Amino acid sequence: MLPPLLPSHPFPLLVAFLFFTGSLLLLLHLKPTQGRQKQPPGPPAWPVIGNLHLLGTLPHRSLHSLARRYGPIMSLRLGQVPAVVVSSPEAAELFLITHDVVFASRPKSQSSEILSYGSKGMIFSEYGPYWRNMRKLCTSHLLSASKVDMFLPLRREELRRLVKSIEKSAEAREAVDLTEEVGRLVEDIMYKMIFGSNNDGRCDLKGLVREALNLVGAFNIADFVPFLAPLDIQGLTRRLLKNSKKVDEATETIIREHEEALLVGQNREHKDFVHILLSCMDTYNDQHNSVIDRTNIKAVLHDITAGAFDTSATVIMWAFPELLRNPSVMKKLQLELDNQVGTSKMVEEADLPRLTYLDMVVKETMRLHPVGPLLLPRVCREDITINGYCIKKNTRIIVNAWSIGRDPKIWSHNVELFCPERFLDTNIDYRGYDFQFLPFGSGRRGCPGLQLGLITVKLILAQLVHCFNWKLPEGMSPDELDMTETFGLVVPRANHLLALPSYRLSIN
């Protein structure tokens, strides 16, 4: 029996041998490749919705909890959109600086396409020569240190007006709605700086801008499940189109008025942003010979307004309740102001560089309550491998600055405590060079309004704390202060803060 079988035996044996070694070689060969192709870990995704159901109403908090389980570089699928969430300083450095150029674009969204004339502004435009041009225009003509200084008298005048009105409330022993007052003050300052006159009763551009900001901040299913976009289930597309038409008409009216004023030779002492941009129109050339036209101007105006309106007020309105909950910090800050400014004088912008404790209070506020806890989304421009994980082109990148600000490895175990002293004797800067602290983002897409935003926050906070003592309305203890957040383009406190002022300076 054996001999007849013999001739046939070597063949299957050879096949088996070849199959075995072949598979081994393939495995050995594939292993490193698979390593390179490895996706970052993340929760399993459902069909259609992916991981959207895991985001909850406060996504920065949900993503923080998920990152504890899956790690600082985590994969998600938001509807049909692949995403990577970054939640440690080391990982943030890799994405925002080491490979900055790969992640320097923003994802397209329906709201930015509609409201920014096809992403023609700066915030949501794709990385490339157009964005560079717009960014250069904004940083050198609108947001440079000299331009920020130019509007100092406007900030001083508007803030003095608010102090006067709070003095009246103090005399009448009335509580002040700080959220309302600070919000209106910042809005007025920014509006006048951008559009000039505040007389917008005829077109209510402020109201329209506010609605536009709400629409941009809303979760839009069309951005994540594109095949549902034509159904407009949430009615957002209709509202966006209606709002953008009205905003466009109102902006046109304001631009026309500026042009007419220029024609009849009315030269304003302090130019606003519309004036400055009009003077750049048709003349602004760079190495790409691009010219700024009317649509570019409108898109930039809308983007700057979006960046300027809510951000500074939100920081101030997180700092205030923290100061009320921590009376010793409030006392220390008032003591610094008394020593550095004096009780017979109001705070001036020139005082700000000497106010080092104020700086620590602002930093600690931004660590615990970053205005943009997830910064602004970036998008991956090409396939790349980071830390052994393959990240595909068009993946959305979300940096969880809120989570990084609560990392106990960096900030010790009292991360939830409001403790400005943790910034004492550190070189931690606002500009995003220190990846444990990213209130203005980092890298080439970092915030260009940093200087204006910081001056606005520090000046208003210092003035209100210097001019008044603050108490919570009758019967309310600081521990009862509601610190609930509400998620949107920025993350403010959900409820208004009311407090009783008493005047504390020795001047009227």
| Residue stretches of the annotated binding site for heme | 447
Closest to ligand HEM by CB, 217 vs 446, is: 446
Closest distance between ligand HEM and the C-beta of residue 373, in Å?
Answer: 9
Query: Binding-site residue total for ligand HEM (CB under 6 A)?
Result: 27
Distance CA 481, CA 220 (A): 32
Give, for 263, the enclosing helix (H) or strand (E). helix 236-263
If one asks whether residue 453 binds ligand HEM (CB under 6 A), the answer comes out as yes
Q: In what order do the strands lie in the sheet with 73-78?
A: 73-78, 81-86, 396-399, 378-379
Identify the residue among 76, 304, 333, 459 touching ligand HEM (CB under 6 A): 304
Torsion angle of the four alpha carbons 50, 217, 457, 319, in this order, in degrees rounded to the nearest 10: -60
Helix axes 327-340, 356-368, angle to 10 degrees: 150
Distances (CA, A) of 323 to 161, 216, 221, 499: 23, 31, 38, 12
Of residues 386-445, those binding ligand HEM (CB under 6 A) = 439-442, 445
Query: Can you say which residues are annotated as belonging to the binding site?
Result: 447
Q: What are phi and psi of 499, to 5 degrees?
A: -145, 155
Q: Is 376 in the site for ligand HEM (CB under 6 A)?
A: yes
Nearer Cβ to ligand HEM (192/445) = 445
Which of these ranges, 28-36, 151-159, 278-286, 304-312, lies near ligand HEM under the rule CB under 6 A? 304-312
CA–CA separation, 138 and 202 (whole Å) = 28
Q: By the 8 A CB rule, do 391 and 84 touch?
A: yes
- Contact segment (CB under 6 A) with ligand HEM among 26-34, 67-75, 159-167, 449-457 equals 449-457
The half-sphere exposure of 8 on its side-chain side, counting CA atoms within 13 A, is: 5
Could you tell me the smallest distance in angstroms from the CB atom of residue 322 to ligand HEM?
15
Chain position carrying tokens 């005048």? 157
**Residue selected from 250, 447, 459, 491 as contacting ligand HEM according to rule CB under 6 A:** 447
If one asks whether residue 110 binds ligand HEM (CB under 6 A), the answer comes out as: no
Is residue 292 near ligand HEM by the rule CB under 6 A? no
Question: Measured from the CB atom, is 93 or 501 closer to ligand HEM?
Answer: 93
Q: Residue from 84, 222, 274, 457 that binds ligand HEM (CB under 6 A)?
A: 457
CA distances from 184 to 86, 103, 456 (A): 35, 35, 13
- Report the nearest approach of ligand HEM to the CB of residue 455 (Å): 9
Residues that bind ligand HEM (CB under 6 A): 122-123, 135, 143, 303-304, 307-308, 311-312, 315, 371-372, 375-376, 439-442, 445-449, 452-453, 457
